[in-house]
Amino acid sequence: MRLQRAYDDIVQRKGTSISLSLDPPPERFPDPKSRLEFCRRAIEELSAYVVAVKLNENFVRGVPGDGLRELNDLARSKECITVLDCKMNDVEHTVSAGVRTVSELGFDGFTFNPVIGNSEHVVREASSKGLWTFALVIPSSPHAAATYLATLSTGERFFERLLDDAARAGSEGFVVGLGPFVDGPTLRRVRRRVGDDAVLLIPGLGAQGGELKVAARYGGERVLLNFGRSVLEAASPAERARELRDEAERLRARYSVIEALASCEGAVVESEQPIRLSSGKLSHYYIDTRAIYSYPRARDRIVRLMVATVSRVVGRGGFKVATTATAGIPIAALVADRLGTGLVYYRSGSKDHGLGKRIEGVVSPGEEFIGVDDLTTTGRTAAECARALRDSGGRISHYFVVVDRQEGASEALASERMSLHPLCTIDDEFWEVVRELRSQRDG
């Protein structure tokens, strides 16, 4: 399976993009048995909040092969991707031996160093064993900045040469360390060179000074946001992991939705003449979420983000999806389909034919629903949908939307005993990012 597909599937199921570095400090865990136990406990305690586990070879050296295979089996049983951070590369027969060992130990992938110029052989050998590769293009160490960010005589930076070599070789993953020496625009340069399908493993967050917001804003959607000491050394590692997961997914969804909307012609409209909204309000901007349905990549991106958000907040089952006619139906139908659940929708106007129902679809007494919609302004229609569902015998307490204009919807839904969960809200930063993206696209 391609890394992109595996990433999309597991992130949608678990609702997290956090990667955890398992680096047992040797001064605290001097023998292999204690290091193995440290890693085992961390996976058991934190796997619900992470989607990948990265083991640095230097920290688990000496742990027997059976122990590493046990860790891989445990992580996989918790739906976690496993990566051996070994920065592999050398002459071809050495690479072949190393890849064989990584495969036998049960890892899903490994990091490699493209500096040696042997990327094609590394990726080919890895693919033959069903392993994914993560090319190290910018280390998280501040000492690496002088080398990897250096400008070559060709005008390109050194890391860009490495990145292009690894991408041509077919690597689907790239390691981009984020710290005080790597800024957001540099991270975005990496993303644009490798494309949207590549997965960026981003270490350097937390203890090393890298900012989560920068990684989410500039790294694109398919990222593994890597934390280690800031989680493992916290007073409550599980609580800290949960906090970081929730913050990471909120930011990742926000910036990914903005990028998706900005990429679709007609999705974000600014006008000098006031535009009348469905709520009756006048506005100088209009968010036409219907436009995304004409753009398959943007549409798929938003649906995946919505499914991941639902999975994180309420889980994967035990409910049907409810929405409002008509703009909410496409997004709700796509989300319901991926969750494998039923769909009903609310008609805000009267129906003068058929059975005259306000809720279309089957609502059984006591049945649980979640709302999935495209946009909220005042929240009036969403609140009406909730009341109609309850009048039909259903229950609903969560309402998920792609965009919230922040004009009263949260308060209106709260009065109906519902929580609003927007992927993105309209504020000053929204417009800042939209204009920045448009300027880069047009320039």
Per-residue pLDDT of the chain (443 residues; tens, 9 = 90+): 699 999 999 999 999 999 999 999 888 999 999 999 999 999 999 999 999 999 999 999 889 999 999 999 999 999 999 999 999 998 999 999 999 999 999 999 999 999 998 999 999 999 999 999 999 999 988 888 889 999 999 999 999 999 999 999 999 999 999 877 888 999 999 999 999 999 999 998 876 667 999 999 999 999 999 999 999 999 999 999 999 999 999 999 999 999 999 999 999 998 888 889 887 888 999 999 999 999 999 999 999 999 999 999 999 989 999 999 998 999 999 999 999 999 999 988 655 555 557 899 999 999 999 999 999 999 999 999 999 999 999 999 999 999 999 999 999 999 999 999 999 999 999 999 999 998 887 76
For 197, which DSSP code? Answer: T
Domain membership flag for residue 421:
yes
Give how many domains the chain has, as a whole number.
2
Query: Quick one: angle between helices 184-194 and 158-169, nearest 10?
Result: 30
- How many helices, marked H, and strands, marked E, lie in the chain? 17, 16
Q: What is the pLDDT of residue 358?
A: 87
Domain membership flag for residue 81:
yes
Asked whether residue 274 falls in the same domain as residue 139, the answer is no
Q: 16: closest CA among 209, 303, 204, 253?
A: 253
Q: Tell me how far apart the alpha carbons of residues 100 and 49 are, in angstroms, rounded to a whole number.
A: 30
Asked whether residue 98 falls in the same domain as residue 205, the answer is yes
Asked whether residue 211 falls in the same domain as residue 360, the answer is no
Q: What is the pLDDT of residue 25?
A: 86
Q: 56: closest CA among 31, 82, 78, 80?
A: 82
SS3 84: strand
Q: What's the CA angle centered on 311, arms 308 and 314, to 5 degrees?
A: 140
Q: 16 Cβ partners below 8 Å, 6+ apart?
A: 49, 50, 51, 245, 248, 249, 308, 312
Asked whether residue 129 falls in the same domain as residue 277, the answer is no
CATH for 16:
3.20.20.70
Q: Considering 178, 213, 232, which residue would you say is the last residue of a domain?
A: 232
Domain membership flag for residue 246:
no
Q: What is the pLDDT of residue 388?
A: 95
Q: 309: closest CA among 255, 253, 260?
A: 253
Domain membership flag for residue 260:
no
Asked whether residue 343 falls in the same domain as residue 285, the answer is yes
Asked whether residue 438 falls in the same domain as residue 343, the answer is yes
Q: Tell me how far apart the alpha carbons of residues 336 and 431 are, in angstroms, rounded to a whole number.
A: 30
What Rg value do the Cα atoms of the chain yield, rounded?
24
Asked whether residue 272 falls in the same domain as residue 405, the answer is yes
Q: Considering 232, 253, 286, which residue would you say is the last residue of a domain?
A: 232
Q: What is the pLDDT of residue 1?
A: 60
Asked whether residue 151 falls in the same domain as residue 211, the answer is yes
Domain membership flag for residue 307:
yes
Q: What is the pLDDT of residue 228?
A: 92
Domain membership flag for residue 374:
yes
CATH for 363:
3.40.50.2020
Q: What is the pLDDT of residue 332?
A: 98
Asked whether residue 193 falls in the same domain as residue 49, the answer is yes
Domain membership flag for residue 257:
no
Q: What is the pLDDT of residue 356?
A: 56
Range of the structural domain that residue 142 is part of: 3-232
Q: What is the pLDDT of residue 260?
A: 96
What is the pTM for the complete model shown? 0.94
* Contact in structure between 332 and 323 (CB atoms under 8 Å): yes
Domain membership flag for residue 312:
yes
Asked whether residue 195 falls in the same domain as residue 343, the answer is no
Q: What is the pLDDT of residue 207?
A: 64
Asked whether residue 219 falls in the same domain as residue 345, the answer is no
Q: Considering 232, 251, 280, which residue would you say is the last residue of a domain?
A: 232
